[in-house]
Chains A and B, each alone.
Chain A
Amino acid sequence: MFEVGKIRQDFPFLMKAEQADPQLVYLDNAATTLKPQSVIDAVVRYYTESSVNIHRGDYALSYEVSNAYEGVRKTVAKFIQCEPNEVVFTSGASAALNLVAYGYAEKVLKQEDVILMSEAEHASNVLPWFRVAEKTGAKIEYLPLDEEGVLTLEGFKEALHDKVKIVTLAHISNVLGAVVPIKEITALTHQKGAIIVVDGAQSVPHTKTFVKDWDVDFLAFAGHKMLSPTGVGVLYGKFELLQQMDPFLLGGGSNARFDKNGHVVLKNPPFKFEAGTPAIEGVLGLDAAICYIEALGFEAIEQHELELKHYTVEKLKQFKHIKLYNEKSQSGIIAFNVIGIPTQDVAAYLSSLGVMVRAGNHCAKLLSEIIHTQETVRASINFYNTKAEMDIFIDALKDITLEKCIDLIF
């Protein structure tokens, strides 16, 4: 039974937020999520009870921490349905996408090859590819999107051709929350002999991921957008692709041996990509985060988040001064504008009433031509949000005016 009131008690931030005046309503979950006590405890437990480095198993404590750390690889593998040796720990989704771009794509792409992406992508899934294109002479092509940022299979088929070697796409867009039919797109990509890279930053926290069943080649996600500490993320890669991929960081922990003539033998994946001491507390926190999410179950999470989204959209639709950009998308992201008021002023006004949302272009700077606006306000829902919170948000928007926004500075 999904009891949101009970769930909220696990989040110290929410308990404080409810007591604040005005009550704080956190609706910027696409940026990062709040942390439950179990995740905070996992981090604190590491520093109070273990503290030592991993992979230095000469003493019992290090051996135990190493085991716990490697145990998280198994937890992640089960969570996204792959093998533990296909899970590379990174500092986040950006690091994971950069690793694929420089370690794999730059190695295999040739002049005139094509990287296919969408204009709704986050900067982290655009800028590394720009650089790879510049270095290899490959070209970037964009997929057609409708005005809600939706990519259709027909559109995808039309854009795909023999020169395409890499397709890179967010499973769920961070601005419009559009969900891509990833399994079908992967099958079409493979028919052309190309590989697919999936940015799972907004999808892995909110919907079940099946990398093997979908057959995707790479998938990146961040821990902090799904309850874990910041500083940890994951790159999934098919093992044979990880073998071909080069690390873009070298150092301790990634090599098996080297000599002074410069002969280096790297470890096998995933270890060859993990040079240096990782965010151990982050990885241990990720374990607690996954446990928490799995205990709730994605079915309940999705149902609750979509219910809140639809409830809010139905109410906002009745306001003539609100323009919605993604009414239909099946995720907890609501992108909108208040007609005649800049996004930053809207966000500042909502903030004055305790509501936290994000204003701007959300790092997706190519999207403006598709949705015909430079900026949007984004409210993003997580499973711990409530109808009462959405009502505070809706009420705040009900009678917003430019005058009220300006009055904030007096």
Chain B
Amino acid sequence: MSDLLKDPLILRQIIMDHYEYPRNHHLVEDETYHKAHMASESCIDDITVMAKIENNVIQDVCFDGIACTISTASTSIMSELLIGKTLEEATEIISEYYKMVELLPYDEEMLQEAVAFHQVGKQANRIKCATIGFKAIETCIKEHKHDQ
């Protein structure tokens, strides 16, 4: 994993791939999903994330909307990363991701492809883009816990 971090070409490839072919890029008409609409203050990104949480496990995550490369790719990676995880695991991954974005020590293994954004914290104005999907899934999890 550490070697991967040293190769910007591979990291760029990961981001390109998730931007051009975003995973789970659709919304569903299903009342059992939680939904978070995120329109960032910069008035550009406008995405909706939906999550199905059952038996304490994130069963599905999907998203759609208008967003920049960083927002789209990070949300796509987030969806792959969190599907199938328990809420505790998901919360830990999200917290590690935020640590990485803030340029603090973090667990590389846990973040997998999301390490592509390990330097994004150096561009303060793009932090919002890189975290928009993670904030959205946090809202979904919060809503789920509130409903329980």
Give chain A residues whose Cβ lies under 8 Å from the Cβ of B11.
410
Interface of A is mostly: mixed
* Tally of chain B residues near chain A (CB < 8 A): 25
Contact with A along B33-60 (1 / 0, CB 8 A): 0000000001111000000000000000
Give chain A residues whose Cβ lies under 8 Å from the Cβ of B142.
none
> Are A403's CB and B16's CB within 8 A?
yes
- Complex formed: what's the CA distance from A320 to B119 in Å? 32
Closest approach, in angstroms, between the C-beta of A298 and any C-beta of chain B?
Answer: 32
B8 located at the interface, meaning its Cβ lies under 8 Å from any Cβ of chain A in the complex: yes
* Known contacts A344-B68, A345-B69, A410-B11; A360/B44 CB under 8 A: yes
Give chain A residues whose Cβ lies under 8 Å from the Cβ of B122.
409
> Are A375's CB and B16's CB within 8 A?
no
Q: Which of B66, B67, B123 contacts A408 (CB 8 A)?
A: B123
Interface of B is mostly: helix
> Are B67's CB and A403's CB within 8 A?
no
* Known contacts A344-B129, A402-B69; A410/B8 CB under 8 A: yes
Closest approach, in angstroms, between the C-beta of A130 and any C-beta of chain B?
Answer: 18
Q: Which of A343, A360, A402, A409 contacts B16 (CB 8 A)?
A: A402
Give chain A residues whose Cβ lies under 8 Å from the Cβ of B67.
342
Closest approach, in angstroms, between the C-beta of A127 and any C-beta of chain B?
Answer: 14
A108 located at the interface, meaning its Cβ lies under 8 Å from any Cβ of chain B in the complex: no
Give chain B residues whose Cβ lies under 8 Å from the Cβ of A410.
8, 11-12, 119
- Complex formed: what's the CA distance from A360 to B117 in Å? 23
Contact with B along A327-357 (1 / 0, CB 8 A): 0000000000000011111001000000000
Closest approach, in angstroms, between the C-beta of A355 and any C-beta of chain B?
Answer: 15
Closest approach, in angstroms, between the C-beta of B56 and any C-beta of chain A?
Answer: 34
Closest approach, in angstroms, between the C-beta of A312 and any C-beta of chain B?
Answer: 23
- Complex formed: what's the CA distance from A375 to B45 in Å? 10
* Known contacts A402-B69, A410-B12; A348/B44 CB under 8 A: no
Q: Which of B60-102 contact A (CB under 8 A)?
A: 66-70, 72
23 residue pairs A–B, Cβ–Cβ below 8 Å = A341-B69, A342-B68, A343-B44, A343-B68, A344-B45, A344-B68, A345-B69, A348-B125, A375-B44, A402-B16, A402-B19, A402-B69, A403-B16, A406-B12, A407-B12, A408-B126, A409-B15, A409-B117, A409-B120, A409-B123, A409-B126, A409-B130, A410-B11
- Contacts from B to A (Cβ < 8 Å): 8, 11-12, 15-16, 19, 42-45, 66-70, 72, 117, 119-120, 122-123, 125-126, 129-130
- Which 5 interchain pairs have the tightest Cβ spacing? A344-B68, A410-B8, A342-B68, A360-B44, A409-B120
